[in-house]
């Protein structure tokens, strides 16, 4: 059942794919810019000398210069908007400086004054600082990414006009490619730092994960008992699937296992109208090893996107969904998560949201069977148990 916009309001996702509240002013600023430009055009037609002068200077520019003026104007006002959103921190001060510099550069371009070198240094610096912000755990977010892309395009205008030999032009081109690469890295970095460890109700998750909104709390004794009983039943019910041939006979797709924590689907059980049955989990999770696959646990999945999973054990067994998953067609498999640049690998489609699901880890010794499996613990377990 898809409730449209209300569906996503039920979840907390990574700030990488969202618009932070403190960045709302940046979006308004762009509309403000359009309004200002429209006003200049209108007043110029009514004989305002200053507006006419601006219009004359703009029309005297070639199309590439006009593009540069717009790119700097948009990024300048967006940085200004973000500066006001971060007014109580050093980030706000930096953004204000950047915004002012970019808008001053617009003026210099319109006045046909020199601007290239300083602006080039400024843009490279701005795009590099994004990486520093990411390391500090500040997620760039969608507004930050848009601004960075606009700035990178402005940088491309500057770098593509570099004269000189092939080496110099190649370095200039690589600078732009590197700037976009830095920007992408900044997007991932900030999102990962912000989302590490986020797996409980209301916490900020890693990119690609959706958690239910709410406030985490201590479980009741009834919830603890329910969680323990369900775990024990799952362990007992899927023990037979340690033998993959038994799993295959029951309809689990255990061929061609790859990677880590391979999810073996059972198409029939995904649409049998039964959920949370330890005898009929929708997926099994295996770890492919040199000595054969090791059963890690089960995955229970709701049948339709938007259907909330039953919170039978309260905050202990938290259902999650995934968003911005990239799916390729050859073969039909996950190819990654949607880039901070807003696209998937070529030939892949972006799935905006999946059904809700819940893991139950049955591998002996796991600390919390309902939490994310710790990779280091798993590696140590596999090494000890051959």
Partner 1 sequence: MDETNHMDEGPVAVAGLLLFVQAAVTVALAVEAVGAALIFGGVPAFGAILTVAGATITLILVARLPKGRRSTRRWILGLQIGWLTIGLIDLALALGLAGRALTPTGILVQIVLPTSIFWLLCRSDARSQFEDSEPTVAVDEDPELEGLWA
Contact flag: residue 273 with partner 1 (CB under 8 A)? no
Nearer to partner 1, 184 or 362 (CB): 184
Compute how many other C-beta atoms are within 10 angstroms of the C-beta atom of residue 339: 18
Residues in contact with partner 1, total (CB under 8 A)? 73
Nearer to partner 1, 99 or 344 (CB): 344
Encoded one letter per residue, x for contact with partner 1 by CB under 8 A and - for no contact, window 158-197 reads: --xx-x---------x--xx-xxx-xx-------------
Contact flag: residue 367 with partner 1 (CB under 8 A)? no
In what side-by-side order are the strands of the sheet with 294-301?
A: 262-265, 283-287, 294-301, 357-361
Contact flag: residue 10 with partner 1 (CB under 8 A)? no
In what side-by-side order are the strands of the sheet with 325-329?
A: 332-337, 325-329, 349-351
Q: How far apart are CA 211 and CA 302, in angstroms?
A: 15
Q: How far apart are CA 260 and CA 103, in angstroms?
A: 49
- Residues 277-296 touching partner 1, rule: CB under 8 A, are 288
Q: Pick from 14, 15, 17, 359: which binds partner 1 (CB under 8 A)? A: 17
Nearer to partner 1, 273 or 331 (CB): 331
Q: Segment contacting partner 1 (CB under 8 A): 3-11, 93-101, 121-129, 223-231?
A: 3-11
Contact flag: residue 371 with partner 1 (CB under 8 A)? no
- Half-sphere exposure in the Cβ direction for 27 (13 Å, CA): 11
Nearer to partner 1, 38 or 329 (CB): 329
- The DSSP string of 156-172 is HHHHHT--S-HHHHHHH
Output DSSP code: residue 320. B
Is there a cis peptide before residue 331, judged by omega within 30 degrees of 0? yes
- Residues 100-139 touching partner 1, rule: CB under 8 A, are 112-117
Report, in Å, the least distance between residue 334 CB and partner 1. 6
Nearer to partner 1, 224 or 260 (CB): 260
Q: How far apart are CA 107 and CA 104, in angstroms?
A: 5
Contact flag: residue 308 with partner 1 (CB under 8 A)? no
Residue 104 CB contacts under 8 Å (≥ 6 apart), including other chains: none
Q: How far apart are CA 127 and CA 234, in angstroms?
A: 49
Nearer to partner 1, 204 or 335 (CB): 335
Asked whether the beta carbons of 201 and 216 are under 8 A apart, the reply is yes
Q: How far apart are CA 19 and CA 26, in angstroms?
A: 10
Nearer to partner 1, 221 or 256 (CB): 256
Asked whether the beta carbons of 382 and 315 are under 8 A apart, the reply is no
Q: Pick from 335, 371, 372, 382: which binds partner 1 (CB under 8 A)? A: 335
Asked whether the beta carbons of 247 and 285 are under 8 A apart, the reply is no
- Residues 206-265 touching partner 1, rule: CB under 8 A, are 256, 258-260
Q: How far apart are CA 34 and CA 52, in angstroms?
A: 17
- Residues 341-360 touching partner 1, rule: CB under 8 A, are 341-353
Q: Pick from 328, 357, 372, 382: which binds partner 1 (CB under 8 A)? A: 328
Report, in Å, the least distance between residue 229 CB and partner 1. 34
Nearer to partner 1, 49 or 290 (CB): 290
Q: Pick from 95, 99, 157, 295: which binds partner 1 (CB under 8 A)? A: 157
Report, in Å, the least distance between residue 40 CB and partner 1. 21
- Residues 62-81 touching partner 1, rule: CB under 8 A, are 62-65, 67
**Orientation angle between helical segments 166-195 and 141-160, nearest 10 degrees:** 170
Nearer to partner 1, 93 or 171 (CB): 171
Q: Which helix (H) or strand (E) holds 346?
A: none
């Amino acid at each position: 059942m898809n409730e449209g916009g209300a569906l996503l309001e039920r979840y907390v996702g990574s700030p990488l794919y969202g618009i932070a509240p403190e960045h709302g002013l940046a979006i308004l600023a762009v509309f403000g810019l359009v309004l200002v430009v429209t006003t200049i055009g209108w007043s110029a037609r009514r004989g305002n000398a200053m507006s006419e002068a601006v219009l004359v200077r703009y029309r005297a520019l070639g199309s590439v210069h006009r593009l540069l003026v717009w790119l700097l104007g948009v990024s300048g006002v967006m940085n200004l908007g973000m500066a006001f959103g971060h007014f109580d921190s050093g980030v706000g001060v930096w953004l204000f400086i950047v915004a002012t510099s970019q808008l001053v550069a617009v003026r210099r371009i319109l006045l046909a004054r020199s601007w290239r070198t300083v602006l080039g240094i400024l843009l490279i610096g701005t795009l590099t600082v994004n990486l520093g912000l990411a390391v500090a755990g500040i997620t760039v977010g969608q507004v930050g990414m848009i601004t960075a892309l606009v700035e990178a395009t402005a940088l491309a205008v500057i770098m593509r006009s570099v004269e000189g030999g092939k080496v110099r032009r190649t370095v200039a081109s690589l600078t732009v490619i590197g700037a976009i690469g830095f920007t992408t890295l900044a997007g991932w970095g900030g999102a990962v730092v912000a989302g590490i460890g986020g797996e409980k109700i209301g916490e900020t998750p890693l990119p690609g994960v959706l958690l239910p909104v709410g406030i985490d709390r201590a479980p009741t004794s009834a919830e603890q008992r329910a969680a323990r009983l369900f775990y024990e039943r799952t362990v007992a019910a899927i023990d037979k699937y340690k033998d993959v041939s038994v799993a295959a006979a029951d309809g689990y797709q255990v061929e061609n296992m790859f990677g880590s924590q391979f999810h073996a689907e059972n198409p029939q059980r995904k649409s049998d109208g039964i959920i949370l049955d330890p005898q009929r989990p929708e997926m099994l999770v295996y770890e492919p090893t040199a000595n054969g696959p090791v059963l890690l646990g089960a995955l229970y999945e709701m049948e339709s996107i938007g259907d909330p999973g039953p919170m039978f054990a309260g905050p202990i067994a938290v259902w999650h969904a995934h968003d911005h998953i990239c799916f390729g067609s050859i073969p039909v498999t996950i190819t990654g998560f949607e880039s901070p640049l807003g696209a998937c690998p070529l030939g892949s489609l972006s799935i905006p949201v999946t059904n809700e699901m819940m893991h139950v880890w049955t591998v002996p010794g796991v600390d919390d069977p309902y939490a994310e499996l710790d990779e280091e613990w798993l590696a140590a377990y596999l090494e000890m148990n051959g």
